């Protein structure tokens, strides 16, 4: 039986045994519902309990109201807890006049390492509004950045984007909720396009689905993501810890792949 499975079954601290980097975390409050314990201090406490060494975070304020305010709070968290938080710069295409300055601030001053797109909360369609993302994509291309995308466009558009920006690594989020019956284009894209990855986040955990994601995509192209504190970190990591896959695959998903993408 898997070593990691046994550790999890005992509720053991994992940090000494496997490097865990959460590629999809948030921070801060949410208007629609209560997110308890959403501060950087609480997040570190929760990460330490499980053994998660780093979390890549975007702030809920960035996603739901003022992207610059949220980015600044993430910067404060990075300063307060060195080497524990990886900053996602959130850029809201509805404010094109502020994008260039915020990119400079986030990457030159704040030390952020990646970009987060949330086309759902920002209500930007890849199909019709894609031009509005171009300045950010071009910046990412020039600086070899990783981008975490809440969703994804049509397979054709995703392929067009990914092949057009070959220095950008795209992580397509929430593939952990795949229900196995409907075709999930992100999975085949991750399988066939070198710079497309998926993350394991997604609150609905259909029995047996995660193993099928791994079989379909391969463990080299999947990153652990929790959506924490939007969701519960321990709940979301369970699907990997208990998955019926090899420990070698679990280690890649839990942290090794993220290390490569974030260059840490």
- In the complex, the residues that contact other proteins under the rule CB under 8 A are 8-12, 32-38, 42, 46, 49-50, 179-181, 203-210, 212, 228-239, 241-244
Please check whether residue 147 is in contact with residue 169, taking contact to mean a CB–CB distance below 8 angstroms. Answer: yes
Q: Which is nearer to other proteins, 37 or 191 (CB)?
A: 37
Minimum distance between the CB of residue 26 and other proteins, rounded to whole angstroms?
10
Query: Helix, strand or coil for residue 111?
Result: coil
Least gap, CB of 239 to other proteins (angstroms) = 5
* C-alpha span between 186 and 170 (Å, rounded): 11
Q: Assign residue 123 a region: left if phi > 0, alpha if psi is -120 to 50, beta otherwise?
A: left
Shorter beta-carbon distance to other proteins: residue 228 or 262: 228
State the minimum distance, in angstroms, from the CB of residue 41 to other proteins: 12
Shortest Å, Cβ 167 to other proteins: 34
Q: Which is nearer to other proteins, 145 or 233 (CB)?
A: 233
What's the closest the beta carbon of residue 145 comes to other proteins, in angstroms?
28
Q: Following CA atoms 196, 176, 57, 130 in sequence, which dihedral angle do they give, to the nearest 10 degrees? A: 50
The distance of closest approach from Cβ of residue 236 to other proteins in the complex, given in angstroms and rounded to an integer, is: 7
Nearer to other proteins, 113 or 239 (CB): 239
Q: Are 180 and 213 spatial neighbours (Cβ–Cβ below 8 Å)?
A: no
Q: What are phi and psi of 236, to 5 degrees?
A: -70, -30
Nearer to other proteins, 195 or 200 (CB): 200
Backbone φ/ψ region at 108: left (φ over 0), alpha (ψ -120 to 50), beta: alpha
- If the CB atoms of residues 102 and 227 are measured against other proteins, the closer one turns out to be 227
User: Using CA atoms, how far apart are residues 216 and 236, in angstroms rounded to an integer?
Assistant: 20
From residue 14, how far is each of 115, 222, 259 by CA, in Å?
A: 28, 19, 17
């Amino acid at each position: 039986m898997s070593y990691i499975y046994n550790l999890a079954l005992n509720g053991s601290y994992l940090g000494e045994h496997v490097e865990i980097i959460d590629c999809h975390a948030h921070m801060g409050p949410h208007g629609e519902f209560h997110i308890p314990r959403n501060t950087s201090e609480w997040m570190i406490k929760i990460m330490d309990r499980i053994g998660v060494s780093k979390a890549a975070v975007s702030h809920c304020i960035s996603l739901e109201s003022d992207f610059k305010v949220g980015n600044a709070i993430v910067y404060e968290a990075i300063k307060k807890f060195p080497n524990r938080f990886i900053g996602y710069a959130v850029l809201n295409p509805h404010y094109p006049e502020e994008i260039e300055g915020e990119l400079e601030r986030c990457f030159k001053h704040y030390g952020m390492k990646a970009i987060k797109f949330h086309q759902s909360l920002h209500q930007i369609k890849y199909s019709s509004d894609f031009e509005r993302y171009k300045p950010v994509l071009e910046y990412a291309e020039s600086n070899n950045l990783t981008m975490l995308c809440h969703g994804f466009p049509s397979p054709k558009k995703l392929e067009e984007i990914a092949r057009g920006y070959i220095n950008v690594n795209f992580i397509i989020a929430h593939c952990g909720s795949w229900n196995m019956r409907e075709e999930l284009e992100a999975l085949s894209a991750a399988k066939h396009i070198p710079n497309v990855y998926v993350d394991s986040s997604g609150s609905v955990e259909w029995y047996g689905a995660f193993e099928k994601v791994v079989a379909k995509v391969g463990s080299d192209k999947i990153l652990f993501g929790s959506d924490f504190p939007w969701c519960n970190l321990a709940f979301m990591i369970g699907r990997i810890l208990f998955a019926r896959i090899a420990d070698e695959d679990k280690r890649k998903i839990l942290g090794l792949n993220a290390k490569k993408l974030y260059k840490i």
